[in-house]
Structure 1
Amino acid sequence: MARRATIKDVARASGLSTATIDRALNGRTKVREETLRKIAEAAREVGYHARGVLNYRLDASVPELRLGLLLLKEKQPFYKAFRAEAERAIAARTDIRGSVTIRFAQSQSPAEFAELLSELGRVSDAVAGIAVNHPALDKAVGDLKSKGVPTFSLLNDFAQGIRRSYIGLNNIKVGRQAAWMLTQTASPGKVAIFVGGNRWHGHDLREVGFRAFMRENAPGYETLEALVNLETRQLTYEATLNLLDRHPDLRGIYVAGGGMEGAIAALREARPPGKVRLVVNEVTPDSRAALLDGYIQMVLVTPLQELCQSTIDLAIKARAEPNETAFEQHFLDPRIVLPEII
């Protein structure tokens, strides 16, 4: 059987580096048309399977979409997976000549989020991102809108009434699902919830859903005052140990945002598996191990593939209908992961 051609074969035939070939195929950065044509010819010569992608990029009749994407915590497993899925989704499209420019916020500063959104807007046809709620974001999104650059809020809805669409989970339902799981697995008693902070609207909604379910369906459970962890491991770790010390009868914890690694570490240190039931968001190496060890009872997972595909679809729609004024909410269903199906 003939050996399948690889990027190295294309690089050798074109006289270019494998890094240049990779950028041309995945659209991470702009590659000159002359270079694209050289790569496409080399791909044709060696029979490289992805040459059709290059041909689409060279076809001027195919509309171009430059997507700007703002994420957090570049080294965190969830955002690494988010980046990879966004690049994969844009590279797989044959109805557009697509590229994605990704920036990572280093803090939760509204000024930094606003600056990065504005920076992305200068080089993109549409911008999507995860950011906090703050008037600085309203202004940045309003400025982009006035320049014809639609903005999409992802997972946490910011700049409501200004942004084009919210794409993400129905956070009230997510909170209710977390509460349901705790009531099914923990005996009546005290339960706690961690939120990232009051600038994360999505976390507020998850807390609302969590408390509403408990109030309506679980009168035997007492929901303690919400704890703010700024989505950090260390704060969550310290607060969980303090929580366990102050409430030895604690039955369950829901970490509504980031920082779950701290809660896992504290429970491993202070309680046997399953003594305090834990519900978190997103499968990472830490949460996967805790599921298998019995420290986590359920993980609510964002469907990243669907999220990225929907963002691209809505960005294309916004480009085609620039005068559309509808402010949409595009809800995705989370994937529920339990210990027995990990």
Structure 2
Amino acid sequence: MAKRPTIQDLAREAGVGVATVDRVLHGRDHVRQATAERVAEAAERIGYHAAGLLQARAATRPKMRYGFVLQKPAQAFYRDFAARLERAVADHPEVEGRADILFPAHQAPDDYCDAIRRLADRCDGVAVVAPNQPQIAALLRDLRAEGKPVFTLLNDLAQGDRLGYFGTDNIKVGRIAAWMITTQLHNPGKLATFVGSSRWHGHILRETGFRSYVHEFAPKFQLLDTMVNLDTRQLTYEATLDLLERHPDLRGLYVAGGGMEGAIAALRDSRPAGRVALVVNEITPESRAALTDRYACLAMATPLAELCRRVVAAMTAAKLSGAPPPGQVFMDPVLYTPESV
């Protein structure tokens, strides 16, 4: 009489661990669709007694298409963001998901609207990084009326029309930046800030947090007028060099949005390391190198892995169960210093 295949035999045939086979058998979480299908196929090949159940387990997950609008695909941060979104969709245990990611051709409102509408027409839900523009807010309002779940990432726009926001508390981020700079410096002096534009309210909130902390706890420091850099490296580079020429006694600089690479390059070209206390957002090869070389004293990173997992879970719940919207979901930034990179 032939020996009945065991769970160990099935695991070996499928190329997975016994624990993974057990999770598929019992319908537990954290098993990829492809893995469940591989186990089911192996069970059929070797005549495992629960092959029918495994086939049913592998076929029970619904299919979902998730749409994401990001920006600036040339930037390391957004390339990493896209990769982590794809991983979060692939790893979600309840659905067989596909991530559809678009980058607007330009930064004009119509470009964002075109990308959002295209995704909304073919996806079960959409999450966007976009500026606070009336045209974009109106589109999100229309999508909500159509029953399409839309979430915002990093920058909270269209409050009341989007289902939820996922990102950091930008007021808090700005206050952390001010705390670091003013405690890093032994003597008061001039402080400067960059924002991408007035349409990125996340940047404006960071600026507000920065200024409120200085006014409250470091009033001897002089705050210069905030500068707009359009989140670009070259403009930030040129503006930083001009700033240093006009204010040779500048002590601290906070880049509240993108373009930090330009500020880092300008400081490398014109000042010794540590002469100006620089705080930036996000950890990238450039910001990591600046911390290592002491040209930056702090980088505050969005916890992207956590953000991606949570927004994918919220999009899934909105589609499958009509779960109530999460509102604002704040995640604490990850702080990197010269001694922690």
TM-score by length of 2: 0.83
Specify the alignment match of 1:80 in structure 2: 79
Question: d(CA) in 2 for partners of 1:147 and 1:231?
Answer: 33
Specify the alignment match of 2:338 in structure 1: 339
Specify the alignment match of 1:258 in structure 2: 258
1:300·1:335 contact (CA, 8 Å) conserved in 2? yes
Specify the alignment match of 1:204 in structure 2: 204
2:92·2:313 contact (CA, 8 Å) conserved in 1? no
- How many angstroms does 1:40 deviate by? 7.5
Query: Greater CA radius of gyration, 1 or 2?
Result: 2
Instruction: For 1:291, give the aligned amino acid.
Output: L
Specify the alignment match of 1:240 in structure 2: 240
Identity fraction in percent: 49
Instruction: For 2:122, give the aligned amino acid.
Output: V
How big is the alpha-carbon RMSD for the aligned residues of Structure 1 and Structure 2? 2.7
Question: d(CA) in 1 for partners of 2:57 and 2:175?
Answer: 45
Specify the alignment match of 1:141 in structure 2: 140
Secondary structure at the counterpart of residue 188 of structure 1: coil
2:193·2:226 contact (CA, 8 Å) conserved in 1? yes
2:260·2:280 contact (CA, 8 Å) conserved in 1? yes
Deviations along 1:125-158, one digit per CA (max 9) or x if unpaired, are 1100100111111121122212221110000011
Question: d(CA) in 2 for partners of 1:260 and 1:216?
Answer: 26
Specify the alignment match of 1:305 in structure 2: 305
Question: d(CA) in 2 for partners of 1:271 and 1:264?
Answer: 10
Secondary structure at the counterpart of residue 251 of structure 1: strand
Deviations along 1:306-325, one digit per CA (max 9) or x if unpaired, are 0001101111222245484x
Could you list the runs of 5+ residues in structure 2 that have no partner in the other structure? 1-11, 17-32, 47-53
Question: d(CA) in 2 for partners of 1:323 and 1:55?
Answer: 29
Instruction: For 1:173, give the aligned amino acid.
Output: K
Deviations along 1:71-95, one digit per CA (max 9) or x if unpaired, are 1111211011111111111111221
1:148·1:322 contact (CA, 8 Å) conserved in 2? no
Could you list the runs of 5+ residues in structure 1 that have no partner in the other structure? 7-23, 27-35, 47-53
Specify the alignment match of 1:113 in structure 2: 112
Secondary structure at the counterpart of residue 158 of structure 2: coil
TM-score by length of 1: 0.83
Alpha carbons of structure 1 residues 319 and 273: separation in structure 2 relative to 1, 3 Å? same
Specify the alignment match of 1:218 in structure 2: 218
1:255·1:281 contact (CA, 8 Å) conserved in 2? yes
Question: d(CA) in 1 for partners of 2:180 and 2:109?
Answer: 34
2:314·2:326 contact (CA, 8 Å) conserved in 1? no
Deviations along 1:10-59, one digit per CA (max 9) or x if unpaired, are xxxxxxxxxxxxxx959xxxxxxxxx98998489879xxxxxxx979951
Instruction: For 2:291, give the aligned amino acid.
Output: L
Specify the alignment match of 1:20 in structure 2: none
Question: d(CA) in 2 for partners of 1:283 and 1:338?
Answer: 10
Question: d(CA) in 1 for partners of 2:123 and 2:204?
Answer: 31
Specify the alignment match of 1:157 in structure 2: 156
Question: d(CA) in 2 for partners of 1:127 and 1:185?
Answer: 41
Instruction: For 1:215, give the aligned amino acid.
Output: H
Alpha carbons of structure 1 residues 323 and 86: separation in structure 2 relative to 1, 3 Å? closer
Moved over 4 A (4+): 36-46, 54-58
Specify the alignment match of 1:93 in structure 2: 92
Question: d(CA) in 2 for partners of 1:67 and 1:252?
Answer: 41
Instruction: For 2:97, give the aligned amino acid.
Output: G
Alpha carbons of structure 1 residues 43 and 173: separation in structure 2 relative to 1, 3 Å? farther
Secondary structure at the counterpart of residue 243 of structure 1: helix
Secondary structure at the counterpart of residue 215 of structure 1: helix
* Range 155-164 or range 139-148, more displaced: 139-148
Alpha carbons of structure 1 residues 43 and 213: separation in structure 2 relative to 1, 3 Å? farther
- How many angstroms does 1:106 deviate by? 2.8
1:274·1:294 contact (CA, 8 Å) conserved in 2? yes
Alpha carbons of structure 1 residues 308 and 323: separation in structure 2 relative to 1, 3 Å? closer
Instruction: For 1:211, give the aligned amino acid.
Output: R
Alpha carbons of structure 1 residues 314 and 38: separation in structure 2 relative to 1, 3 Å? closer
Deviations along 1:108-133, one digit per CA (max 9) or x if unpaired, are 21111111111000111110010011
Specify the alignment match of 2:51 in structure 1: none
Question: d(CA) in 2 for partners of 1:124 and 1:143?
Answer: 16
2:67·2:100 contact (CA, 8 Å) conserved in 1? yes
1:273·1:293 contact (CA, 8 Å) conserved in 2? yes
* Range 106-115 or range 265-274, more displaced: 106-115
